[in-house]
Each structure stands twice: as structure tokens, then as C-alpha cells.
Amino acid sequence: MNTVKTVRELRAAVARARGEGKRIALVPTMGNLHAGHAALVAKAGQRADFVVASIFVNPLQFGPSEDLDKYPRTLAADQAKLLEAGCHLLFAPGVEEMYPDGMEGQTKVSVPGVSEGLCGGSRPGHFDGVATVVCKLLNMVQPDMALFGEKDFQQLAVIRKLVRDLNIPVQIFGEPTVRAEDGLALSSRNGYLNEDERARAPVIQRTLRQLADALRGGSRDFPALIDEARRQIEAAGLRVDYLEIREALGLRPANAGDKQVVLLAAAFLGNTRLIDNLPLQLD
């Protein structure tokens, strides 16, 4: 597995693979890789012949009071994990390479509708930063397909719309969330939790599962269900940022007749903000 840091080297390596008739997959990441990323890379290897991963901690998607500076940079460990998962090429650019005109001078992409509310409400500008960097990465690599985790459910909806609206010729795959045995969704941010917080964190997924059971059982009193779920998460000492039931495709607030819905939650454990979701089909 080669690691390249410039767009020029990246394009040359991808062109070689293309010349050999290979189908190209891209797995964009911010590094600090865990088993969820490894699963994405392994899946990419099944779907395509040549797997490109990117590692770039994108300053454009972090708010001024967020964890950009303390976000873990673990390149050597990440390279080992990518190699083991079957990655062929790693693109690990610096900020200068990605934003040569600086962040202010960078043309931005903004995806309306699905970016609003949920994480977009709590993190203003976040999805403009994600959409901009993903658009750039797709144009740099020009892969046949790109794979993202379903854990960032709203991000995936934003990227699907970005690709549709700007006619980017790429197939987007959302892959199921990888979880620890106790149900906690794997996330780089889990590393910020102390032992006590880590023990309490699975309450988010547990509560979403109970909410899903109630919906499957026919209950449609959304406000009462949400209140109860919130209470449960807060009883474990977390602070709920949002907890909502949305229609799964366009992410508008769900109504009682919707069949494909998704339960989405974000909550703070100390200073760490965790997100999770649970898509479900109602009959």
C-alpha cells in the first residue's frame, strides 16, 4: 500500500489502476481508524478492484469550539490497519494541499434540506464542510464508488443529495454501523470517554431499540415516546442534544403513516458528543 500526499501523485496512481482496467472505490476518513473503518475498506475490496482510502482531518467541518486540535492523528497505526483491511492506496494530504487558497478562499458546497436540523442544527456549517471536502475528494479520485458508514446517517443523506444534485458520476454505498458487543456504535470519539462514561454510553442504542420496539408494536404517539426515551437517556447521566423520529430518505420529521423511518439521537457524556441511529421499516 502506497501513501501519497499530493493530488498529483494521487491522480497518477489512480490512472495506473484505471489503465489496468480496475474498478476504483474510495473510502474517505478522518483517520484514527477503528473496526468500523476496516469493515468499510474490506467491503470496498469486495465491491471494487482498487481501494483508495483518504485520511484528512477536515478543519472546514469543525466549529470554532469543537475538537479539531485534540482530534487524534495516528497515521502510522492507521496505515497498518488499512494495509491489513486490503487498502491499495492511501491519500493523506495536508491542509495546504486541500485548501491552497485557505479555508476562507475555498469555494463551498452547501446542501439544503437534509443538512438542516439534527447535527446540522447543533453544528452550524458542519455539513457545508463535509459536502465541500467530499465533493473535492470525489473529483480528485474520480472513483466508481464511494463507501460511508451509516452511523453518520444524516451525513450519508447529505452526500447522496450532493452527488445527485451535482451529477457526480459515482455510486454511493452506505454500510451498516459496526458496534461493540454492548451495542455502542464504534466511533473515534469513544476514545475520549473515561471508564465510567464508556460503561454508560450504550444507553443511547438500548433506548433507540426500545423506542423501535414500541413503534413496531403499533404505538404512534411520537411526542410521548420521545419524552420517555429522553428521560431514559438522561437518567443514565447523559445530556440529550436531540432525539427524533424522521422519515428515512429525505429526513423530514416522520408522521404516523411513514413506513421507512429512522430514529436519530445525539447526546453528551461529559464533553464528548456521541451520535447514533436506528433505521427501521414499519408495516
* Binding-residue total with ligand PAF (CB under 6 A): 10
How many Å apart are CA 257 and CA 237, to the nearest integer?
A: 33
Within 174-193, the residues that bind ligand PAF by CB under 6 A are: none
Cβ 52 vs Cβ 143: under 8 Å: yes
Cβ 191 vs Cβ 163: under 8 Å: no
Within 147-176, the residues that bind ligand PAF by CB under 6 A are: 152, 155
Choose which of 4, 14, 24, 28 interacts with ligand PAF (CB under 6 A).
Answer: 28
Cβ 230 vs Cβ 240: under 8 Å: yes
Is residue 120 a contact point for ligand PAF (CB under 6 A)? no
Within 42-61, the residues that bind ligand PAF by CB under 6 A are: 58, 61
Cβ 111 vs Cβ 155: under 8 Å: no
Is residue 92 a contact point for ligand PAF (CB under 6 A)? no
Question: How is residue 93 written as a grid cell?
Answer: 494530504
Is residue 134 a contact point for ligand PAF (CB under 6 A)? yes
How many Å apart are CA 105 and CA 221, to the nearest integer?
A: 48
Nearer to ligand PAF, 155 or 207 (CB): 155
How many Å apart are CA 209 and CA 273, to the nearest integer?
A: 20
Catalytic position from the list 34, 37, 88, 126: 37
Q: Which one-letter DSSP state was computed for residue 218? A: T
How many Å apart are CA 280 and CA 262, to the nearest integer?
A: 6
Say whether 34 is catalytic.
Answer: no
Nearer to ligand PAF, 30 or 262 (CB): 30
Is residue 32 a contact point for ligand PAF (CB under 6 A)? no
Measured CA distances, 269 to 55, 193, 197, 264, 272 (Å):
26, 8, 6, 16, 5
Q: How far is the CB of 218 from ligand PAF (least distance, A)?
A: 35
Q: How far is the CB of 126 from ligand PAF (least distance, A)?
A: 9
Active site residues: 37
For binding to ligand PAF (CB under 6 A), which residues are involved?
28-30, 58, 61, 130, 133-134, 152, 155
